[in-house]
Structure 1
Amino acid sequence: MTVYDVAGKLPGTDVLLDHCRGLAMLDAVLSPEREGRYYSFHSRWSGGGQLASMCNGQGDQYSLVFSAAGVYIRGFCHESLMSPYGPLADGSPWPGVLDSVPEVFRAYVEEPVFTDEDGGPVVTACLWREPADTAWRTGTIDFPEEGDDPEDADGAGYLFELLVDRSAEAYQEWAGYYHETSVDLDAVRHVLALRPLTAPVVTALNPGTDLAALADDIAEIGYPAA
Structure 2
Amino acid sequence: MISTRDLTGLPDVSSLRRLLQSLAMLDAILSPDWQYRYYSFNCHWAFGEEWGSMRNGSGDEFYALFNQHGCFLKGFAHEALMTPCRDNPPKLWPGLFSNVPPEFSECLNEPAFDIASTTFCIWRYHDGREWQLDDLKFPAGSDPDGSGDLLSILDGTPETYYVWAEEYYQEAWNDTSGLTRDAVAAVYRHQPLSNELVSAINSNLRLEDLADDLRDIGYPNQKKPA
1:109 maps to 108
**Alignment partners' CA distance in 1, 2:11 and 2:113:** 24
- For residues 83-98 of structure 1, the aligned pairs below 5 Å read 83-87=83-87, 91-98=90-97
**Secondary structure at 1:8 match in 2:** coil
Say whether 1:61 aligns with 2:49.
no
TM-score by length of 1: 0.90
The aligned length equals 215
**Secondary structure at 1:43 match in 2:** strand
1:199 maps to 195
**Secondary structure at 2:95 match in 1:** coil
123, 129, 139: which is aligned to 1:128?
123
Q: CA deviation at 1:143?
A: 1.2
Say whether 1:159 aligns with 2:137.
no
Give the counterpart letter for 1:4 in structure 2: R
**Secondary structure at 1:16 match in 2:** helix
The answer as to whether partners of 1:110 and 1:121 remain within 8 angstroms in 2 is no
**Alignment partners' CA distance in 1, 2:144 and 2:150:** 12
Say whether 1:225 aligns with 2:221.
yes
1:21 maps to 21
Structure 2: where are the runs of 5+ without partners? none
Q: CA deviation at 1:204?
A: 0.9
The answer as to whether partners of 1:109 and 1:121 remain within 8 angstroms in 2 is no
The answer as to whether partners of 1:168 and 1:192 remain within 8 angstroms in 2 is yes
2:49 maps to 49
Deviations 1:52-97 (A, max 9, x none): 000000000000001002100001001011111125x752221132
TM-score by length of 2: 0.90
User: Which piece of structure 1 moves more, 180-189 or 152-161?
Assistant: 180-189
1:141 maps to 136
Give the counterpart letter for 1:18 in structure 2: R
Say whether 1:190 aligns with 2:186.
yes
Say whether 1:179 aligns with 2:145.
no
1:12 maps to 12
The answer as to whether partners of 2:192 and 2:221 remain within 8 angstroms in 1 is yes
The answer as to whether partners of 1:4 and 1:138 remain within 8 angstroms in 2 is no
Q: CA deviation at 1:200?
A: 1.1
Q: CA deviation at 1:9?
A: 1.4
**Secondary structure at 1:127 match in 2:** strand
**Secondary structure at 2:90 match in 1:** coil
RMSD: 1.5
